[in-house]
Amino acid sequence: MKIGLFAINYGTCADPEQSVRVARYAEAAGFESVWTGEHLVLPDPQPPGFSMPPTLPLLDTVVALTLVAAHTTTIKLGSGIVVLPLRNPVVLAKELASVDVVSGGRLIAGFGAGYVPAEFAAVGIPLAERGARTADYIRAIRALWSMDRPEYHGRYAAFEGIDAHPRPVQRPGPPIVLGGEAPAALRRAVLMADGWYGFNLDPAETAECVHTLDRLRDQRPPELGRLSITVTPSGPVDKASVERYAELGVDRLVLLPRPDAPPGERHRPVPVEQILHAIDRAAAEIIDA
C-alpha cells in the first residue's frame, strides 16, 4: 500500500515554511506522496455541512507543488484535486507540465469537476457545464502533453497551429487521477483517467464505489491500462484497516493530517507538531509495520 499525506497547501501548510517542513518530514518517513486540496474561493457565510470556513488559507495548487518540488527529491506531488472546469486547460497544461519538469517527473495530476455553486459563480462558469467541461479539458490537456503537433477541437477548448515546450518529463504525460463519488465521476474516471480518487471514505463507502468501478471496467479503453485507486480514509487508520482497504483493491491511502479530529475541525490550522506526530505514527504503525 502506498501512503500519501493530504493538505500540503492549506491550513497549517498554507505557511510556506511549514509546508516545506511537513513535506520533507513525510519524505524522510517513507511517505510516497503529498497532496494539495483546492478551492479558488470559499463560500461566505459557511454553508451548513460545509467543513471549510471562508477564512481558511489555501495556497494555489501549482504554486504549492512547485514550492514542495524545490525542497524535496523523491516524494510524488499530487494535486488532489484541481477543480478543472474553473481552469483554462491550455494555461493549466503549461503549468502542470512545468511542475513535472521542475520536480523531475514526480507529478500526479488530480482533477475533479467541483461542486461548490458559489465558486463556479465567482469564476463565471455555469455549474451545469462542469461535467462536459471536465471531459473536454482532459482531452485538451492530453493533446498538449502528448501530441507532436498539438491539435484539439472540442466544445469548450480548441486549438491548432501551436506548440508548447517543454513537454512533461513523464511520457505521454503525468498520470491523471479523477476524483468524485457520483456515478458520472466514477464513469469518467473509468473512461478517461489513469486513476480514481475517493475522498473521506470509510471501507464500506469505498467498497460501494469500487463495485461501481468494477461494473464499468468493460467500457475502459485498453490503452489506459489498469485503473489505480486512491482513497483518503474518513478517520484514523491502523494496520488492520489498511489491509481492509487493500482487500478492496485500493492502491494508495492519502491520510488526513489530523485523522482523529472531528469532521468540522479537520481542515483548521493546528500546531505543526501535531501533523509531524501523525506522520510519525503512520510511519510506525503502517509504513514500517
* Domain-wise residue ranges, the chain: 2-287
59-61-66 Cα angle (round to 5): 95
pTM equals 0.97
Q: What is the pLDDT of residues 132-163, one digit of tens each?
A: 999 999 999 999 999 999 999 999 999 999 99
Lowest mean pLDDT among 84-98, 165-179, 247-261: 247-261
Topology (CATH) of 2-287:
TIM Barrel (3.20.20)
When pLDDT is cut at 50, 70 and 90, the band that residue 289 belongs to is: low
Average the pLDDT over 55-79 and give the result.
Answer: 98
Average the pLDDT over 116-136 and give the result.
Answer: 98
Q: What is the pLDDT of residues 247-256, one digit of tens each?
A: 999 999 999 9
